[in-house]
Amino acid sequence: MLIRNTWYVAAWSSEVAQDELFARTLLNVPVVLWRDTNGSITAFEDRCCHRGAPLSKGRLEGDRLRCMYHGLLFDTAGRCVEIPGQDRIPPQAQVRNFPIVEKHKWIWIWMGEAHLADPALIPDTHWQDDPQWRSLEGYTYYTTNYLLIADNLLDLAHLPYIHPTTLGGDEAYAACIPQVEKLANGVRVTRWGEGINPAPFVQKVKNYSGLVDRWNIYDFLLPSIFLMDSGMQPTGHDAKLGNRFDAAEFRSTQALTPETDESTHYFFSQPHNFAIDDPNVTKAIHDQVIKAFEEDSDMIHAQDKMLKLTSDFKMIPIGADAALSYFRWLVAKTYKAEQESKVPVKVQEV
């Protein structure tokens, strides 16, 4: 179930360099991205309309891309503007051009119907380049369906068990009952832990001497975007009322983009607003997040293997699954509506 009429993260801005072609498969579609002479991003289906050769093996010529199999030249709109040895260019000689928006270090791509691509629908991730926050760019890759990773993010009760030495810590946090709010395009989860032990990854950079109040407040939005306000501070200072005292605050930004039905690109960063002039703190936080994500990856890939052993295994839902159950329902509903809205293909009867 891959939703197409929505914005996905295709790449970090830093991945697409000037004067270079960048290839990546997204939603089972090979895509090639590059920058024109002004630095703007263009994205094509990575397949020449002539013989299907990969355009990512082509050559950039200013603001145009030449296929290096038979020499067809395409402008940034995907139109063929030159065929060597041929004056007339067939009007159907064009490759698919995808809507692109580059914003806050992420390159967003719309893989569905181009006329529906509204940049206003792109979630806010300004913390990734806000001067009052610091973070490093992260990427990892899964050989599983993206929804298994979404399940993991939608229930943070797993933190103390999978991440006891990194993001987790006190198992009392797993027993804290989250508040789940259904949104039109996702779900909002609020989880508070008061008077608990601080998470190990924060202790490495803050070193709290006592108990803390901890919060994880996040939106998980279609198609699979995770945006979280999280942090902790010494207990007893009305953190729930918005008062911040010696707080370690973070704005986690994560995006899951299916490569195929069984593989996923995972983009992430962990902006923080304290010790922003100390690059060692930023690197320490980033390294801890990477370690935690490796722990997640080990478990989710092992889970995926178990789930594929037989086709009749049924997962038993528990109370903590409320957010992920709603999100899976929302994905199915959105996918169904998208399929039903497609214009039927007219087949000529013989």
Q: Does residue 232 contact residue 214 with C-beta atoms inside 8 Å?
A: yes
CA end-to-end span of the chain: 33
Query: Are 30 and 93 in the same domain?
Result: yes
Helix (H, G, I), strand (E, B) or coil at 276: coil
User: What is the reported pLDDT for 170?
Assistant: 66
Domain-located, residue 58:
yes
Strand locations in the chain (E): 7-12, 22-26, 29-35, 41-45, 59-61, 64-66, 73-74, 80-82, 100-103, 106-110, 138-142, 179-183, 186-196, 212-221, 225-234, 248-260, 263-269
Q: What single DSSP character describes residue 199?
A: P
Helix (H, G, I), strand (E, B) or coil at 22: strand
Top-confidence residue, 53 or 209: 53
Query: Are 149 and 275 in the same domain?
Result: yes
Q: Does residue 154 contact residue 327 with C-beta atoms inside 8 Å?
A: yes
Tally of domains within the chain: 2
pLDDT in tens, 125-156: 999 999 999 999 999 999 999 999 999 999 87
pLDDT at 62 over 90: yes
User: What is the reported pLDDT for 169?
Assistant: 67
Top-confidence residue, 317 or 19: 19
pLDDT at 55 over 90: yes
Query: Are 84 and 149 in the same domain?
Result: no
User: What is the reported pLDDT for 350?
Assistant: 31
Provide mean pLDDT across the span 73-86: 96
pLDDT at 345 over 70: no
CATH of the domain at 44: 2.102.10.10
User: What is the reported pLDDT for 122?
Assistant: 98
Domain-located, residue 349:
no
- The percent of residues in the chain predicted with pLDDT above 70, rounded, is 97
Query: Are 34 and 175 in the same domain?
Result: no
Provide mean pLDDT across the span 39-45: 97
The CA distance from 112 to 175, in Å, is: 41
User: What is the reported pLDDT for 200?
Assistant: 83
User: 343: pLDDT confidence band, cut at 50, 70 and 90?
Assistant: low
Query: Are 175 and 323 in the same domain?
Result: yes
Query: Are 182 and 287 in the same domain?
Result: yes
Query: Are 26 and 40 in the same domain?
Result: yes
Domain-located, residue 341:
no
Query: Are 139 and 99 in the same domain?
Result: no
User: 348: pLDDT confidence band, cut at 50, 70 and 90?
Assistant: very low
Q: Which residues of 259-277 are buried (b: 16+ CB within 10 A; e: fewer)?
A: beeeebbbbbbbbbbbbbe
Provide mean pLDDT across the span 184-211: 89
User: 202: pLDDT confidence band, cut at 50, 70 and 90?
Assistant: confident
pLDDT in tens, 243-277: 899 899 999 999 999 999 999 999 999 999 999 99
CATH of the domain at 139: 3.90.380.10
Query: Structural domain of residue 15, as residue ranges?
Result: 7-120
Provide mean pLDDT across the span 209-229: 95
Q: What is the pTM of this model?
A: 0.92
Domain-located, residue 268:
yes
How many other CB atoms are found less than 10 A from the CB of residue 101? 17
Query: Are 46 and 184 in the same domain?
Result: no
pLDDT in tens, 274-326: 999 999 999 999 999 999 999 999 999 999 999 999 988 888 888 888 999 99
pLDDT at 37 over 90: yes
Task: Give the mean pLDDT of the chain.
Answer: 92
Give the highest mean pLDDT range of 170-184, 189-203, 295-309: 295-309
